Amino acid sequence: MKHKVLNFLRKSPFLFAPVLLIATALTPGTTLAQTEEEQFIRQVYDTALVHGKSYELLRQLTKNVGHRLSGSAGAQKAVDWGQQVMQELRFDTVWLQEVTVPHWERGKAEKVTLLGSGKDKSLKLQALALGSSAGTGPKGVTAPVVMVNNFDELEQLGRQGVEGKIVFYNFPMNPSLIKTGQAYGEASPYRTHGPSIAAKLGAVGALVRSLTTALDHVPHTGTTIFEAGVKPIPALAISTLDAEMLSKKLKSGKTQNVYIETHSRTLPDARSYNVIGEIRGSEQADKIITIGGHLDSWDVGEGAHDDGTGVVQSIEALRILKALGYQPRHTIRAVLFMNEENGLRGGRKYAEEAARKGEKHIAAMESDNGGFTPIGFTVDATQEAVAAIEALAPLFKKYQVNEFGAGGSGADISPLKPQGTILIGYRPDTQRYFDIHHTAEDTFEKVNKRELELGAAAMTSLLYLLDKNLE
């Protein structure tokens, strides 16, 4: 790894760009000639913005395929679509990598009702069952609600205060945090692990405040994980406005009973596939640079921002390089991962197969933060590798892609880290992302064509620079 990074640093001319710019400024009437890299990146942006295919590909995926939860017929249809698209684009090799995935079904629509008493009328709550949660069947479950704002409060209640009740986790995403992903990361354990912890204490159900800073009536689903030996219970996310209302009623001190009816079920694991297309390298074909997004989505909405945009941007990156006649030095792969949402089995399978075959993955990039305006890239690697990527930032300044530095990458490529792979996360503006994340609102119409194409151009440009400079 160290020698790769040193070669990168030695070959990159941009470490000395500030010196060159100063020298040029001292010579009136002279201009700094565009470098080969600058010229090529301009061609990448022109191709993406004038002759781009990513928006049409996204339309096909969202409208012709639709939502595509792992194990579903929609997921298989998406696999077939991805394979056909990459074959039609004439990538050098296109293949399917088999992976066994979880198969959870939502079933009929959920019913969550805050039962009235006295003069209070019953109120229907906007809710979505969480992935891997249990169904109640047609008889449903009725029980009093106990609210906790964090895990410490749940622990203080103990089994005596939880058994036979529905636990309501009212932990909001922190609106003061500028990076919305950080706020999501703080709140997500209440959805991911909260129901299992409640079940261990004897709860008969769990309600979780939806993970968004928006105050609206839109519920956000997502996966929940039950520990081995813990019997799953019905678990649902409720909209933030319903969470506010329920919280207010519970603070009055009056017992609040809720009726839950879900028809979810977990079926035997199913066979599915990662979809992989590659362009073979001309000099070091045995070394691989991967770019990808996840093909699966939740079973509400159309999975447009999560992660249809990442899928089509990854395909588009290879298409643009081919359209410009660029022959990569290394082998470049576009990987459409299966099962990021509720298992990560596609990402793990890809890394396992890479290790089994002795493949050398020198870098991997992932887009899984929506298709909004690009702002930069984060790098999960050694300090030397991070510095080398940061040194490329001046090339992106005119395109308003300004944030480069250490940080997370992506769930699907993370299993490659033990191989010493440089992991890179594509970062768009996410201020609106969690308003629609995991909801029925995540549709094609919510994606802006130009923002999507700008992201594809930024990713393609960095992919090109990685190929050109890494050893």
Q: Report the catalytic residues.
A: 340
Q: How is 25-42 classified by DSSP, letter by letter? A: HTSTT--PPPPHHHHHHH
Is the Cβ–Cβ distance between 320 and 327 less than 8 Å? no
Residue 120's alpha-carbon distances to 91, 112, 115, 256, 259, in angstroms, are 63, 16, 8, 11, 15
Of 264, 263, 239, give the one whose Cα is nearest residue 114: 239
Q: How far apart are CA 377 and CA 425, in angstroms?
A: 6
Residue 252's alpha-carbon distances to 114, 247, 249, 372, in angstroms, are 15, 9, 5, 42
CB count within 10 Å of CB 2 equals 10
392: which residues sit within 8 A by CB, 6+ positions away?
12, 14, 404, 462, 465
Residue 60 structure tokens: 């096909």
Strands 166-169 and 141-148: parallel
